[in-house]
Amino acid sequence: MKLLFFALCIYSSVTYAQEYEILFTKQVNNNDNIYSLNHLGQLTQITDNPRKDSSPMLSPNGKRLVFTSERVGWWKIWLMDMEKNEFRQLTNSGRAEYNPSWSPDGQTILFVSGRSGGSEIYTMNLEGKGVKQLTSNGSNTLPSWATDGRIYYSSQVSGTYQVWSMKPDGADKKQLTYSKGDKLMAQLSPSKKVILYYGNQDGNMEIYVMDLNSVQTNRLTNDNLMDIRPRWSPDGKQIVFERGNKRNDQQIYIMDADGQNQRQLTQSGYNYAPSFAR
């Protein structure tokens, strides 16, 4: 597959300040593919498949891209070699498999699967082998592997999703939040001091950070639309996220780590699942 490159003039009205390239999923003519957007507003199409590709995460060395795809049916985890432009299917159970992310050394992939009946977190190697199940209560999702050596994730407790952490082998599980509302997509900051997540503890889906020491939370967004799926920049200075109605208007935004300087990066259509390229 030949990569398609577009230098889009329609982005010229936006002030770009992100240092890192942003990966995200863009829907065009009811088909989802993976794109990247650089600091100049240049858009590059990375995948071009008639079935949906989504949720890209670049490996720490920048050589591989893990993502979810419907190329062979329901959502499965796929791997792309960025240098060779080659693709490999990593999972193939009879259930949906999604939310892939990387270990800090780039040798292990975290993902969520329904293969055991509930929503559980697993790890596997770059060949899709050595699969290990880390959770077993049936309602776990959106894991991320932090540089402190622990995995942060959301687990359903008494009807709401709360933030938990565990060791990479699934041991030493600890509940970190207890307040009302769902808290999803927990990620430790590069400074290892705060946890980023999105949730509805104030009614609408908004983005928050929680100080690990004081356990105090700070709301970063306040919009009538839903603010969801935030990701840290590698230096921890910025956050990319999506804002929209989850129907026909879903856009990629970026803001400073304290919630200031919120800027819209995409202008129309359905765009989702952003992450920073390292």
What is the spatial order of strands in the sheet that 86-89 belongs to?
53-58, 64-69, 76-81, 86-89
DSSP secondary structure letters along 30-58? TEEEEEEE-TT-EEEE----SS-EEEEEE
Calpha distance 133→86 (Å, rounded): 28
The pLDDT of residue 16 is 44
Read off the tokens for 212.
Answer: 């690990």
pLDDT 10s digits, 10-49: 333 343 446 789 999 999 998 999 999 998 889 999 999 9
- Which of helix, strand or coil describes residue 198? strand
Q: What is the pTM of this model?
A: 0.92
The mean pLDDT value for 212-228 works out to 97
Burial of 5 (0-12, 13-18, 19+ CB in 10 A): exposed
| Mean pLDDT for the stretch of residues 103-128 | 97
Average pLDDT of the chain, as a whole number = 92
Strand order in the sheet with 217-219: 183-188, 194-199, 206-211, 217-219
CA distance 144 to 99: 9
Question: Mean of the pLDDT values across residues 101-113?
Answer: 98
Q: What is the mean pLDDT of residues 267-277?
A: 95
